[in-house]
Amino acid sequence: MSTTDASTFWDGVHTTRPAATDPRPNSRLVEAVTGLAPGRALDLGCGEGGDALWLARRGWHVTAVDLSAVAVARLAALARSHGLQELVTAERHDLHAAFPRGRFDLVCAHYLHSPHDLDRPTVLRAAAHALHPGGSLLIVDHGSTAPWSWNQDPDTSYPTPQEVAAGIGLDPATWTVERADTPRRIATGPGGRTAEVTDHVLLIRRTV
Ligand SMILES: C[S@@+](CC[C@H](N)C(=O)[O-])C[C@H]1O[C@@H](n2cnc3c(N)ncnc32)[C@H](O)[C@@H]1O
């Protein structure tokens, strides 16, 4: 599957959703980051950008990347309209082709799933290597299917956080797993519809 096909797919997903004026952050990000001193953050597959904007409001310098030009253009416009353009850099980037340059205090990847080619273990390993010592990698995956998800395949498998960690294969002398669990929450989808969903949360810290 080519990058063009993947871009077309994700542009379509984003285009069918109305542009948010102030998208909300993911609750797992808020849980994990509240209390951390701001630094440099990288948001992988940023989507509409609620996480990047939330981080920027707390003083983080955020590089937010997404394959979808629609998502990136919307986030860049939102950052400008909220006066956060100095703190948010929104870039179109295909993580299947290459990993963004730079070192970060926080890398987050929320629901970075795709029906197209995306070598997640390679991307997430690169993310762990891109951390400064003391930095955190927050990976939040779906553990269930929301009724409004683009993916309604009943055969979808949801690797546990432990399986995701094993797939990344990090050296415990350099990285420690600080959180690996499967909490539930009430999610809000398009049109204010709600449903209970499961998250697979993995928080890794680079120690040296
Ligand atoms: C399910 S959405 C999650 C968006 C956002 N992180 C959130 O929590 O709302 C997955 C995002 O990953 C992006 N994506 C998919 N494949 C990608 C790739 N190869 N490189 C970069 N971004 C990609 C999609 O465009 C989409 O915005």
- List the Cα angle 4/122/181 in 5-degree steps: 110
**How far does the centroid of ligand 1 lie from the alpha carbon of residue 65, in Å?**
8
User: Does ligand 1 have an atom closer than 6 angstroms to the CB of 68?
Assistant: yes
Q: Which atom of ligand 1 is nearest to the CA of 66?
A: 22
The residue nearest atom 17 of ligand 1, judged by CA position, is 67
Number of domains comprising the chain: 1
User: Who contacts 198 (Cβ-Cβ below 8 Å, separation ≥6)?
Assistant: 142, 143, 144, 158, 182, 183, 184
Q: Which of 48, 63, 112, 145 has most ligand 1 atoms within 8 Å of its beta carbon, as the pocket-test mutant? A: 112
Q: Which atom of ligand 1 is nearest to the CA of 96?
A: 19
* pLDDT tens digits, 72-109: 999 999 999 999 999 999 999 999 999 999 999 999 99
Segments in 17-168 forming alpha helices (H):
27-33, 50-57, 69-81, 120-129, 161-168
**CATH number for the domain including 180?**
3.40.50.150
User: In the structure encoding, which two tokens stand for residue 145, read together?
Assistant: 């299917």
Structural element, H or E, at residue 88: strand 88-92
Specify the pLDDT at position 1. 54
User: Does ligand 1 have an atom closer than 6 angstroms to the CB of 71?
Assistant: yes
Distance, first Cα to last Cα, the chain = 38
Residue 117 has pLDDT above 90, yes or no: no
C-alpha distances (whole Å) from 135 to each of 139, 171, 175 are 13, 15, 10
What is the pLDDT averaged over residues 130-139?
A: 98
* pLDDT tens digits, 173-192: 999 999 999 999 999 988 88
The residue type found at 206 is: R
User: Does ligand 1 have an atom closer than 6 angstroms to the CB of 114?
Assistant: yes
Q: Which domain holds residue 150?
A: 3-16+25-206
DSSP strand pairing (131-142 vs 104-110)? parallel
